């Protein structure tokens, strides 16, 4: 894994740089007279500079390259720091095309507004998003496929750069795991990547590979995996990651990530072209692993983090599970299958149950599921993550705080309520079962299609017994990143975004 290192810089005329990039709120009034002087002749003859990232010749600047990228308006109610993120993506692409390998990044003219307090850091992360290349591409063409090796950040401190390098490393890992094709990142190879990723770090790794163990301990995951057993290289894995700080634990974060390395839909086969891009259905597990990588590199104090990744392939075949089956989950409940394409909640449910049992003895625990779960989330909230929380999490404002941090780090989210209708939706229809996994219609056309799966997860995870009315309330947030997980909603070709990694890191590690 290779990403451009963030370096502190107090003068953009520095020996490490071969270009200067300015992310500008106002290209006519940059914060340094040397910049204004160099740009003025071009502004006089080229109006495009105010509207798009532009490279101009600047004889006295490092590499003779000056790239100016306007953000557009920043003061309106609906503007946010993503304008800086996007401007940096455009700018770094110009710098790379011009041959730069070590640019200096500057932000200029940001409003005195809390929305832009992290503008420089967000600009760097935007550049990293643009520069990431798929793991298979790097393996095929070599690491030189991406020539920019470092980015100097004008005005950044050593501490900020340390934080950013940890975060960028985590985001690159998340993109690798999410964006890699289904054979290169089949479950055993996904697990191998994680083992290598956390080698010689503060994060311990355990991989559960034995099929009998998975069937006994995580029967719903085993049900999803059943059709994949015929192909050894597709056998499922459960990856367990644990970070324990060197000092006293004051908070415990507990994650379950959906790692569907490929989702055919199973017996409810995806048809009409909708299977394309389903190698990215592992985006939830990818983001959780990416957050753990950021934690491993930064080693925050006081925060213990436990993560379980459900890594499995939902295959079609003679032994695939089908709607109407009733299976017994780890909590002892009878689960009736409504649709085999609603497999992610099954893959995560028993792991969440185990997490819940662990949480009872942890310090100040909060539980999360992270998943590219429903088309409804993408339909309902567009390019944002959708957070659905239980009562204790709502009281503690877990989602609200995460979303507020996300707004400051270009990692936006919308909050959804868990309602009685969601629990009614999954209630049993017969005395033969205890809970229904889903209806048999696409989530995108189902009312409350991204909310009711949280109710199912809470029930099969046993968290419905740990609400505000219980003796041991356990905060739980379901994070659906189906709308935010890739750029432009293009699940086949869009770059993975590492959704939720920035928010979680900013909220709990900084």
The set of catalytic residues is 270, 345
What does the alpha-carbon distance between residue 481 and residue 286 come to, in Å, rounded to a whole number? 11
3-state secondary structure of 328: strand
What does the alpha-carbon distance between residue 456 and residue 413 come to, in Å, rounded to a whole number? 22
Residue whose C-alpha is closest to residue 70's, from 115, 35, 26, 117: 26
Residue 273 φ/ψ region, left for φ over 0, alpha for ψ in the -120 to 50 degree band, beta for the rest: left
Contact by Cβ (8 Å): 461, 354: no
Contact by Cβ (8 Å): 107, 152: no
What does the alpha-carbon distance between residue 164 and residue 502 come to, in Å, rounded to a whole number? 10
Helices (H), 132-185: 135-141, 158-179
What does the alpha-carbon distance between residue 442 and residue 21 come to, in Å, rounded to a whole number? 45
What does the alpha-carbon distance between residue 360 and residue 244 come to, in Å, rounded to a whole number? 17
What does the alpha-carbon distance between residue 150 and residue 192 come to, in Å, rounded to a whole number? 28
What does the alpha-carbon distance between residue 401 and residue 502 come to, in Å, rounded to a whole number? 13
Q: Centre a 10 Å sphere on the Cβ of residue 382 and count the other Cβ atoms it contains.
A: 13
Helices (H), 282-419: 283-298, 344-359, 375-381, 391-395, 398-408
Residue whose C-alpha is closest to residue 509's, from 290, 330, 219: 290
Task: Supply 27's token pair.
Answer: 């290209």
């Amino acid at each position: 894994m290779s990403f451009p290192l963030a370096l502190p810089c107090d003068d953009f005329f520095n020996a490490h740089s071969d270009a200067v990039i300015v992310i500008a709120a106002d290209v006519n009034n940059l914060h340094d007279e040397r910049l204004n002087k160099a740009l003025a002749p071009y502004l006089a003859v080229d109006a495009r500079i105010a509207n798009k990232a532009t490279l101009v010749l600047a004889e006295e600047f490092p590499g003779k390259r000056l790239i100016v990228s306007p953000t557009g308006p920043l003061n309106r109610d609906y503007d946010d720091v993503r304008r800086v993120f996007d401007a940096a993506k455009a700018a770094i692409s110009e710098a790379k095309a011009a041959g730069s390998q070590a640019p200096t990044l500057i932000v200029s003219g940001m409003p005195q507004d809390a929305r832009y307090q992290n503008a420089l850091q967000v600009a760097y992360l935007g550049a990293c998003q643009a520069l990431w290349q798929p793991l298979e591409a790097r393996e095929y063409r070599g690491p030189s496929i991406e020539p920019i090796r470092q980015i100097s950040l004008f005005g950044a401190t050593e501490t900020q750069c340390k934080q950013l390098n940890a975060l960028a490393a985590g985001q690159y890992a998340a993109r690798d795991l999410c964006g890699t094709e289904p054979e290169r990142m089949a479950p055993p190879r996904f697990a191998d990547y994680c083992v290598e990723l956390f080698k010689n770090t503060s994060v311990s790794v355990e991989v559960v590979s034995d099929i009998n163990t998975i069937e006994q301990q995580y029967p719903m995951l085993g049900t999803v995996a059943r059709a994949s057993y015929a192909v050894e290289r597709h056998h499922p894995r459960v990856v367990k990651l644990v970070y324990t700080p060197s000092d006293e634990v004051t908070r415990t974060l507990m994650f379950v990530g959906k790692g569907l390395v490929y989702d055919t839909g199973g017996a409810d086969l995806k048809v009409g072209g909708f299977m394309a891009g389903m190698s990215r259905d592992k985006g939830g597990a990818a983001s959780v692993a990416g957050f753990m990588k950021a934690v491993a590199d930064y080693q925050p104090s006081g925060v213990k983090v436990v993560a379980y990744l459900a890594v499995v392939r939902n295959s079609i075949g003679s032994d695939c599970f089908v709607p109407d089956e009733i299976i017994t989950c780890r909590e002892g409940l009878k689960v009736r299958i409504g649709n085999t394409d609603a497999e992610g909640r099954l893959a995560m449910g028993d792991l969440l149950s185990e997490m819940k049992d662990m949480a009872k003895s942890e310090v100040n625990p909060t539980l999360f599921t992270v998943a590219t779960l429903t088309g409804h989330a993408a339909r309902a909230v567009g390019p944002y993550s959708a957070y659905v929380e239980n009562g204790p999490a709502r009281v503690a404002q877990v989602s609200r705080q995460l979303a507020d941090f996300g707004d400051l780090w270009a990692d936006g989210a919308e909050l959804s309520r868990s309602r009685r209708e969601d629990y009614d939706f999954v209630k049993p229809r017969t005395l033969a079962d205890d809970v229904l996994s889903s209806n048999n219609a696409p989530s995108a056309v189902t009312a409350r299609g991204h909310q009711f799966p949280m109710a199912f997860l809470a029930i099969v995870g046993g968290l419905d017994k740990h609400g505000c009315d219980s003796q041991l309330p356990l905060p739980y947030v379901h994070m659906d990143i189906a709308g935010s997980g890739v750029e432009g909603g293009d699940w086949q070709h869009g770059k993975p975004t590492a959704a939720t990694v920035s928010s979680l890191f900013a909220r709990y590690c900084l």
